[in-house]
Amino acid sequence: MAHTLSSVRDQVEINLLDSANLIWSTTILDEAIRAALLDLSRIYGEILTLNGLDAATETTFADQDLYVLIRGAVAYALIFRAVGRYEEATPEPTLAPSFAINAQETMAEFRALLTQADLRLKQNSADSPHSGWQWEESGGF
């Protein structure tokens, strides 16, 4: 399935319970998606693209990493909001700490998903140093 900025943004909005963009603007969500895609690119070892984001015309990450991207975008959106709440002229002290904890926990989940994706990509790699081991029993030496 070809994922686009619009379809990914819709899923991020659903995860944030903000389909009407009353809390997170599409500009903030796009930046959160961009940040998560950059982190995923580091795992892939190449710049990944999402059709519609920054004039990209194709999506270059695997379908199985869509959830990783979405959770990453959610984590970044929460962090952007938490930082914004702390930097307001009149921050709400009762909201920010619990919100910041939720943002940290979501980011930790994203980092764990990135680790899993990294391990999967290394396991499936045909390139050194992550390619399959050659054992004497298999005639590799």
* Residues 109 and 71 sit within 8 Å (Cβ to Cβ): yes
Over residues 1-57, the pLDDT tens digits come to: 689 999 999 999 999 999 999 999 999 999 999 999 999 999 999 999 999 999 999
| Residue 4 φ then ψ, to 5° | -125, 165
DSSP secondary structure string for all residues of the chain:
---BHHHHHHHHHHHTT-TT-SSS-HHHHHHHHHHHHHHHHHHHTS----BTSTT--S--S-GGGHHHHHHHHHHHHHHHHHHHHHHSSS--TTTHHHHHHHHHHHHHHHHHHHHHHHHHHHHH--STTSSPP--GGGT--
Over residues 63-105, the pLDDT tens digits come to: 999 999 999 999 999 999 887 655 555 555 556 677 888 899 9
Provide the whole-model pTM: 0.82
Residue 141, pLDDT above cutoff 50: no
Of residues 139 and 51, more confidence is placed in 51
pLDDT at 88: 53
pLDDT at 90: 57
Residue 106, pLDDT above cutoff 80: yes
Residues 6+ apart with CB under 8 A from 119: none
pLDDT at 92: 59
Over residues 110-136, the pLDDT tens digits come to: 999 999 999 999 888 766 555 555 555
